[in-house]
Chains A and B, each alone.
Chain A
Amino acid sequence: MSEMVRFVQGNEACAEAALYAGLRFFAGYPITPSTEIAEAMARRLPQQGGKFIQMEDEIASICAIVGASLTGYKVMTATSGPGFSLMQEGLGYAVMAEIPCVIVNVQRGGPSTGLPTGPSQGDVYQARWGVHGDHEIIALTASNHQDVFEMTVHAFNMAETYRTPVILLFDEVIGHMRERLVLPGPGDIPVVERLKTSVKAGVDYHPYLPREDGRLPMSDFGGEHRYNVTGLFHDMWGFPSDNPNIVHGLLRHLVDKIRSNVDAITRYKEYHLDDAQTVLISYGCSARSALHMVENRRARGDRLGLLELQSLWPFPYRLVEEKCANARHIVVVEMNTGQMVRSVKRAVRNPEPVALANRIDGNFITPNDIKNILRLIQGKGV
């Protein structure tokens, strides 16, 4: 096998992609089914002069990567549901203080300890609203290892571009299954580097004053500019403030910087949507079965199509509405009790034909599951 082609788990694909994107610091804590990411980082990071540390818990992990990001490094942590719950406060800190970082959640059965080795897609809305307070978040996902690689690099790029934490929402199927991965060469996928300030030493640097283009240049801790970073509402110098104008302005900025860039952030794939009468919408491992279903039915002449979402948040309302405009049936395929389907119902002009095809027993949803549900929806029985 050539060096550039590997047969790896999704977790390993994610780890390699992070290195490709310039990751230099990883702090994490073991939890099934994400542990392989930490193990890969422990092996690979020091080989490149980067740093790995296993912290005492997930809270320490998210805090450590935020600290490391401030010294100028690209950083990442990885966990699953229970750890993701613990990380919410630290995640909120990164949102408020506008610190780039990537958080991988390889979803498993939940809530609580749930099913450590069983897949689910139950954390979709938690990724959106797990952090307290008004905020926007970017969450990406993938259904195959090549896309895991690409979406991981995209995550780092989005984190740097918008100075925000980005969540990679994978699942146990993608994390653990082995699949062929072609490692991109240097330069094949564009990598966004950290935007550093050009303000000279001795001149006032404002860590929180956006440039004309909306971007916020950073200055590394240890560098020329000394400033304050806090989770309190703050002015453009980073100092705490409860001034109503400042609070309003900052909150609007945090929310709008993501909301007004939905198009640049959105990633998706489409299959046979041009003339589809029934549109399946899916993501992550479910999309694999959905795609299989669609190809299978198309071969028999059924006009099915698939919209595979690779960015879950900010939810691409306009895209979904557009792609479903001519559909008679819209079926959301996911492994939970119905999360993404809520957003789809809000996106489409008429939510009546939106149905859910799901599986929630800790087993991977199969094309047959989807077929049976479709038949029920169409009144044909199983």
Chain B
Amino acid sequence: MSTVGSYIRERFFPHLWCPGCGHGTVLKGLVTAIDELGLRKNDIVMVSGIGCSSRIAGYLDFHTLHTLHGRALAFATGVKLSKPALKVIAPMGDGDALAIGGNHFIHAARRNIAMTAIVMNNRIYGMTGGQYSPLTGYGKSATTAPYSNIDHDFDVVKLSSAAGATFVARTTTYHAPQMVEILKQAFSHNGFAVVEILSQCPTYFGRKNKLGDAADMMEWFKNNTTPIGSKASRENPALIERGVFVREEKPEYCCEYDKIIQKAMKGRE
């Protein structure tokens, strides 16, 4: 096993994800990024919600907190604000983060509290058997949209940016080296970082929408995404852009609160 093997809880492998599930690739990218940054295991807290994506936490040898559906960022806020020195990473599913968790997502971004929200977007609720999520998209098929989905999706990057996130990026499981690079930047960012990773669910989203096998779905990521501002993007606006969309330095929430503490303590004298 390579050096990244030391970051995983090997005794639980092989993991529970389906053959070809993109989440395994995200796991690999995540530990590779942490290894390349040289982060200390005892400094890292992984806070996940509920769903296939959220199971990632249990496989990692860090402080791991597997919480409630949609609530990872609320728990994470408590962890981070109480001990700002900790590196907090919140891997979540698309439904987990943006449906039931939408409110917490918006406000964590608004606060610009330093943590990384990884939205593992496979456009479906996988663990419960393939129901549509806010990211499934118009016209797609799912078990709770058997006649075709009439819900439109929204743009995670635009939502994150509007809510105040100061680092916003998108990549895919096909673009694994870019994923590692983006995750490194996100983990190093002193503010709220959102990394959307398009991931394949061959078992439900893929099968229900006749998208082929896992490799076919990754091929789709390769052919239907493009770097931000590329010539291809200008010629074909339907392509999904990949890369870092937002990178800003703004006061971070825990640092701001430390100033409040100083103010409050001075006020007493």
Contacts and interface: CB of A to CB of B under 8 A. Distances in A.
Direct contact of A and B (CB under 8 A): yes
Interface of A: 24-25, 27, 43, 46-47, 49, 51, 53, 55-57, 59-61, 63-73, 75, 89-90, 93, 221-224, 226-232, 239-240
Nearest to A232: B66
Contact of B83 (A27, A221, A229): A221
Closest 7 CB pairs of A and B: A67-B78, A64-B78, A63-B74, A46-B264, A68-B82, A68-B78, A67-B75
A46 B265 contact: yes
15 contacts: A47-B268, A49-B261, A53-B81, A56-B104, A63-B67, A64-B74, A71-B78, A71-B86, A75-B78, A222-B83, A223-B42, A227-B63, A228-B66, A229-B65, A229-B66
Nearest to A27: B78
Contact of A60 (B62, B65, B71, B260): B71
A90 B71 contact: yes
B143 interface: no
A90 B71 CA distance: 9
Contacts of A59: 71, 74
Given A55-B74, A64-B77, A73 B82 contact: yes
B67 A93 contact: yes
A223 B12 CA distance: 23
B48 to A, nearest CB: 9
A68 B86 CA distance: 12
Contact of B63 (A89, A90, A221, A240): A221
A140 to B, nearest CB: 23
B1 interface: no
A240 B82 contact: no
Interface of B: 12, 41-43, 45, 47, 57-58, 61-68, 71, 74-79, 81-83, 85-86, 103-104, 106-107, 257, 260-261, 263-265, 267-268
A72 B30 CA distance: 27
Given A49-B265, A229-B66, A239-B58, A67 B86 contact: no
Contacts of B61: 226
B68 A25 contact: no
A25 to B, nearest CB: 5
B162 to A, nearest CB: 16
Contacts of B65: 67, 70, 221, 228-229
A226 B81 CA distance: 20
A316 to B, nearest CB: 32
A364 to B, nearest CB: 36
Q: Could you say which of A60, A65, A75, A224 has the most chain B C-beta atoms within 10 Å of its C-beta?
A: A60
Nearest to A230: B66
B45 to A, nearest CB: 5
Contact of A231 (B63, B67, B76, B268): B67
B75 A222 contact: no
B57 A67 contact: no
Q: Could you say which of B43, B71, B265, B268 has the most chain A C-beta atoms within 10 Å of its C-beta?
A: B71
B78 A222 contact: no
A154 B83 CA distance: 26
A64 B265 CA distance: 24
B70 to A, nearest CB: 9
Contacts of B104: 56, 60
A86 to B, nearest CB: 12
A231 B68 contact: yes
B79 A71 contact: yes
Nearest to B265: A47
A86 B76 CA distance: 19
A66 B41 CA distance: 22
Contacts of B66: 228-232, 240
A67 B64 contact: no
B107 A60 contact: yes
A60 B82 contact: no
Nearest to A47: B264
A53 B76 CA distance: 13
A24 B82 contact: yes
Contacts of A43: 264
A365 B41 CA distance: 57
Contacts of B68: 63, 89-90, 93, 231
A71 B82 contact: yes
A71 B78 CA distance: 9
Nearest to A89: B68
Given A56-B103, A67-B82, A89-B68, A222 B43 contact: yes
Nearest to A45: B264
A49 B75 CA distance: 21
Given A49-B265, A56-B103, A59-B74, A229 B64 contact: yes
Contact of A57 (B81, B83, B103, B263): B103
